[in-house]
Every structure is written in C-alpha cells, then in structure tokens.
Amino acid sequence: MTQATLRILFVCMGNICRSPAAHCVFQHLLDQAELSDKLIIDSAGTHGYHVGSPPDARMQSVLRKAGVSVIGSSRQLVREDFYRFDRIFCMDEDNLRFAQGIQPDDGTASLERFADCIADPQINHVPDPYYGDEGFETVLAMVTRGCRNLLEQCQQSLGRS
C-alpha cells in the first residue's frame, strides 16, 4: 500500500450531518478515482453532543439514495487534529471560529472554509440541515459539488488528472 500523501478533515458542529456527508462523499469519489491509498480523510465536530453516534438517519437516507456508502461515527475535534491533518475544512463560520480557538500555534494543518471548495460566490457556508433550515438533499448537493472540486485540487497536487 502506498503511503498517503494528503490528510483531510471535515468539520461541522455535531459531526452527524454536514461533515460526515463530506467524509462519505469524498471517500466515494476517492474510491472511484482509485486514490483511496493517497489520501486519509475523516470528519469531526466542534461539539461533543453525539460522540460515537453514526450520521443522522436523515443524512444516511439521502446518502444511500445517492449511492454513497455511510461510514464513520461522530467524534470531537481535538488539538491533535492540527498535527494529524494537512487541511481542515469547516462548514460554517461558527465551526471555523471554534477551530481557530483551539488551533495550536505550531499546528501544521491549514484551516479552510469548505464553501470555498463549492466555488460559488453566492455560497459562503454549508447550512446545517439538522433543524430543517435547509433540506438534507440540498446540503448533500452542496457537499458533493465541493467534494468534486476538492478532488480536482487533490488530483492536481498529486500529479494525476
């Protein structure tokens, strides 16, 4: 097995909707592109409300309808993640501010907005579908678009297209 060259972490509040959707979709895309051995991906939440829980059942449903396998369980973002990962993508400004608050000065990970991967000036965050502000299908479409664009970035940095 080839050693992974990129390590990516997706972050939302509870790690049961948005960030696990990105984790699942990105893993699905990596598998299709035969790049799973080149990247390590995971997801985490800024809060520990759901530690150990699988993704929200509603998100699982839309993922499965899209043909994406559901993987992972909720965990909380920790300082060590800034050493273990190269890039940490936050789903909204609250998550970004929380992550900045625990980011160590000597951490090696870049802290980024996932919305920048979506590449639409009208979208500055991925809304939390948990309370129904946006539907899970809408959020999955946003996450999928962002993950596709991120995959292209990763392929370029790995020298593959």
Active site residues: 12, 18, 128
Maximum Cα interatomic distance, the chain, rounded to a whole number of Å: 42
- 119: tokens are 């590449």
- The whole-angstrom separation of Cα 55 and Cα 37 is 24
Angle at the Cα of 26 from the Cα atoms of 21 and 32, rounded to 5 degrees: 130
Q: How many CB atoms lie within 10 A of CB 4?
A: 15
State the number of CA atoms in the 13 A half-sphere of 119 facing the CB.
10
